[in-house]
Structure 1
């Protein structure tokens, strides 16, 4: 099964890369952009007997290794 983790900095954690992109967009006259947050996406192909089991495994992976729980939150989506 294919599972996607979307990892983002928690609200309140400074995002210097997002700020740099925000400033660059404004310099290019994209003034409608109010905020930019940068994260990452990890796609995993897992062996699992059900979508629920795949999601449980991905949550465990995200909690134990893939996301820094102090400064990052993540969401898991089972794609297939």
Structure 2
């Protein structure tokens, strides 16, 4: 799922680069594509964060390891 989102972002980025190389592209179209890239990257980040929480935080919670839970959450939230 993450690779799909990143592939979407890459496709939009390639479209942006191609459009800018033509030098006659309407700026609003470029801005629209940039917004699409940001959305795809944001969704990829959400998916990755959820996966991380389900894998690492859940495991630490099952062990009752609250210190690891806090560390994992702080590490993940640092990039949000």
* TM-score, with length taken from structure 2: 0.26
* TM-score, with length taken from structure 1: 0.26
More helix by share: 2
More RCO (CA 8 Å, sep 6+): 1
